[in-house]
Structure 1
Amino acid sequence: MADARAANERRVRRLEQMKTNGSAGAASGTLKAFWHGGRKPAHIVVRSALLKRVEGGNILTRLVLPRGVALRFYLLALFEAQCRLAVGGQWENVLPLSGPGSWSDMIASDGAYDGKSGTYMRGTRGGRAAEDLRLRQVQGALRTLEEVGGERPDQALVEVPRGPRGQRLYPSFRLLQESGRGSHQSPDIYTVPTDHWHPSRTVTIPAAFFLNGWVQVLSPSEVATWLALRVLSKWAPEKHQESGVFLYGDARKQQFGLRRDAWEDGCQRLLNFGLIRFARPMKDGDPAVPPTPNSWLMDFDQPEPRERYEPHRYQVIDEGLDQDAVRVCHRELTLRQHALDRRAAEVQSRKNGGPQQDVWPQWDGGEREMRFEEV
């Protein structure tokens, strides 16, 4: 609980600083300028290869990192490309790394925080220093995206050429396909995909995810959880609408590479933020058969169903993306912080032999306990 409390506290502090320094609004303004000045796509189409299992794991979940903006930057790059290019158009970099309307301008950042004093460093509260910080974040993201495959360079998501001394030439980076660089000598440069009806081919992200700041404030594990739910909702649209979609333990780990704690916490936060909701209870007679472990998509018609159990079923709410992300997340995470602080006080009181109190006297929109079953 202590780790969750500290992590939530850091997140609230960063959101407050982003509101104070205006970085979230400025980054959203940059993205809106690209969107209004371009093709105005209603959805950003992402090849499902980004979520699929590959040798050594999943490309997407390798970007679920506690630090850095690699996943955010890659999604922003797809957004920029599809605002500018038609289906089939091949990516080429037309933006500088820093300056007005640059890659750095798309990133919202809280700034450099001094843990000893508990304050943000003066040099990053605005002006040139803040821009330099965002530039370093972009450069770090490019390094991570190039190295995401580890010993498998064919799974890299960007390619950064080297100079005569081996230095990275960041402004000349190339964006690669969601499946990675490929095994040929020439890399698979990113091209805008067609939205395919089958979820094993593509998944879509509403433009509001970018325009209203969600890309800036959701954690990487929350983004990965949300994308997995979007794949499921596309695979079974009628079930999604009628009774919700769900993931069993085997499919979550083998197909999407999501750890149990990341999935559970991601679902809880997405519920709090209003991006998903609990579906109505499953009706009697509905099948509850888990997916086959070696298939990309779910199959509810297996001949030998396993023992029935009731998973949590969810429905994705795209209307929730119309809200201001910073405002919503700051409100909900602040409520959660109050709940975590009350729980910590109760635990301390018990250790000290004090009277026990009801930690959850009334739900106020903040933290709620949720139990997930595992098979």
Structure 2
Amino acid sequence: MVRHVRDAAAAAAKAVKTRRETLAALTGSGMVADASAAAEELSASGRAPAVVRVRRPYLRHSVPLEVETERNGLPREKRPPAGRLIAPRGVTGRLHLLLLFAAACQAAPGRQWHCNLPIEHGRDQPFSLERLVCAFARHRGGTGYVASPKANKLRQITEALKTLNDQHLLDLPHRGEYQPFRDFSLLCDSGQSTDNAPITYRVPTAKEPCIDIPTEFFSRGWVHLLTPSEIAAYLMWLDVNQNPQHEEPYVTGAERAGAYGLTREAFETHQALQAFGLVDVVPDLMRHDDGKYTDYNPEGRPPPCHRVTVTAGGLSLEAAPRITEVLNRYAATADWGRPLGARPI
């Protein structure tokens, strides 16, 4: 038994080793604190929105698509925009959410956002993508050249802008020219633009079906320190809670895979999200850890799904110390338990 616990803890420590190192680098450099401060300042200098509204088609298909296996979700090209932007490296998904945040700060509902944020920070501009974005990369060998942290971040930002252009979420009218990123603009977050029919992004109005992301998601560092899968899953749970399809807050495997396009691996991030204090999970007692269930009678009871409620005020604390504490605990015990200060009373 002791050996089993020790082996589980060693495996857990290995699983989160890279994440803990990246977290330490981003916080130790002051990058997260400065990016969060920039988000606070950007909000205060503009409309100071309480939430950032994101259109529901960004997250889910209105009618779930058929999948070969619910475990793997949809192929990337068939996922809604948020699901297509999940990637283990780079800042594409985070950058897009930050651009939607900036638009909510600077443009009224129903109006087009005219981006005035340069990529590189300068003396005459208090806000820039360089300041709003956190990015970290390791030198992986194979060459003697090591890019500076600044060059590394700018490269990741420009690569993200190209990807957003490829996904029809951003217009680069000068791509291929000497200054390819000047005058870029957002396209509609619904993802329905095409090469020949771009749809200009306008800040959503109150009448449009959306989810509301609290601005603390940006000003407390969560957008930078959650993994891409955790971000996608958290947005899904916001939608489940704000736009309920059932009497209780759950998603079936068919909905998670066919509507949101997410894999079972992304769904399993509910353990970390609960440990961070962002959601409360009530497990279905008949469902096992491997996703299987016993004696399920579809005629006699609701689906055997976890009930997941978004925690009110869960984003209000700074992300860095909370995530650090949880990851350190997980590395030592292989347990996604919440810190004492994050447990419901």
Q: What TM-score range do you get, normalising by the shorter chain? A: 0.7 to 0.9
- The amino acid across from 2:276 in the alignment is F
- Residue 166 (structure 1) shift: 5.1
Q: Are the counterparts in 2 of residues 46 and 203 from structure 1 also a CA contact under 8 Å?
A: yes
Are residues 1:219 and 2:245 paired?
Answer: no
Alignment-derived partner of residue 193 in structure 1: 204
C-alpha distance in structure 2 between counterparts of 1:327 and 1:122, whole Å: 33
Task: Report the counterpart of residue 179 of structure 1 in structure 2.
Answer: 190
**After the TM superposition, which of the residue ranges 136-145 and 230-239 deviates more from structure 2?**
230-239
The C-alpha deviation readout for 1:20-60, integer Å capped at 9, x for no partner, is 10000011111111011111000000011101238823221
Counterparts of 1:122 and 1:275, CA distance in 2: 40
CA 1:278/1:135 → structure 2, altered by over 3 Å: closer, same or farther?
same
* Deviation of the 1:183 alpha carbon: 4.2
**2:165 counterpart of 1:146:** yes
User: How has the CA–CA distance of structure 1 residues 186 and 273 changed in structure 2, closer, same or farther, with 3 Å as cutoff?
Assistant: same
AA aligned to 2:165 is E
SS across alignment from 2:118: coil
Deviation at 1:305, TM superposition (A): 4.7
Cα 1:365–1:41 change in 2 (3 A) is closer
Partner of 1:67: 89
- Structure 2 distance, partners of 1:81, 1:89, is 9
Partner in structure 2 of residue 136 of structure 1: 155
Matched residue pairs, number? 299
Report the alpha carbon displacement of residue 186 of structure 1 after superposing the two structures with TM: 5.1
Give me the whole-angstrom Cα distance separating, in 1, the residues matched to 2:174 and 2:137.
Answer: 29
1:1-375 aligned within 5 A? 5-53=13-61, 56-100=78-122, 101-109=127-135, 111-114=136-139, 129-148=148-167, 156-162=168-174, 169-180=180-191, 182-183=193-194, 185=196, 187-196=198-207, 201-236=209-244, 239=247, 244-264=248-268, 266-279=269-282, 305=299, 308-340=302-334, 365=338
- SS where residue 233 of structure 1 aligns? helix
CA distance in structure 1 between the aligned counterparts of 2:237 and 2:41, rounded to whole angstroms: 29
Q: Counterparts of 2:91 and 2:311 in 1: how far apart (Å)? A: 25
Measured in 2, the distance between the counterparts of 1:161 and 1:7 equals: 42
Q: Deviations over 1:112-167 (max 9, x none)?
A: 42457xxxx9977xxxx32222211110111111223xxxxxxx11121236x656
Measured in 1, the distance between the counterparts of 2:180 and 2:186 equals 14
The alignment-based identity, stated in percent, is: 30
SS in 2 for 1:326: helix
Contact 2:275 2:337 (8 Å CA) reproduced? no
Residue 63 (structure 1) shift: 0.7
d(CA) in 1 for partners of 2:338 and 2:53?
33
Q: Secondary structure at the match of 1:330?
A: helix
- 1:318: Cα distance to partner? 3.2
Unaligned segments of structure 2, at least 5 residues: 1-7, 66-76, 286-297, 340-345
Letter in structure 1 aligned against 2:190 = S
Give the drift of 1:84: 0.6
Separation of aligned partners in 1, 2:337 and 2:267: 24
SS state at 1:172 partner: coil
Tell me the amino acid that sits aligned with residue 171 of structure 2. Answer: E
Contact 2:13 2:332 in 1 (8 A): no
For the structure 1 residues 108 and 82, does the alpha-carbon distance in structure 2 shift closer, same or farther, using more than 3 Å as the test? Answer: same
Partner letter of residue 193 of structure 1?
P
Shift of the alpha carbon at 1:88? 1.3
Q: What is the aligned partner in structure 1 of residue 73 from structure 2?
A: none
- In structure 2, the residue matched to 1:294 is none
Q: Relative contact order: is structure 1 or structure 2 higher (C-alpha 8 Å, sep ≥ 6)?
A: 2
The CA distance in 2 between the partners of 1:307 and 1:315, in whole Å, is 20
Aligned residue for 1:277, secondary structure, equals: strand
Are residues 325 and 113 of structure 1, via their aligned partners in 2, closer, same or farther at CA, if it must alter by over 3 Å? same
* Deviation (angstroms), 1:174: 1.7
Would the aligned equivalents of 2:94 and 2:224 in 1 still touch at CA under 8 Å?
yes
Q: Any idea what the Cα deviations from partners look like across 1:325-366, whole Å, max 9, x if unmatched? A: 0111111111111234xxxxxxxxxxxxxxxxxxx8xx8648
**Which of structures 1 and 2 has the bigger CA Rg?**
1
Larger deviation: 306-315 or 37-46?
A: 306-315
- Aligned-pair distance for 1:181? 5.5
Which amino acid is 2:259 matched to? Q
**What is the letter of the counterpart of residue 18 of structure 1?**
L
Q: Is the 8 A contact 1:160 1:168 kept in 2?
A: no
Does the residue aligned with 2:182 lie in a helix, a strand or coil?
helix
Distance 1:277 1:122 in 2: 46
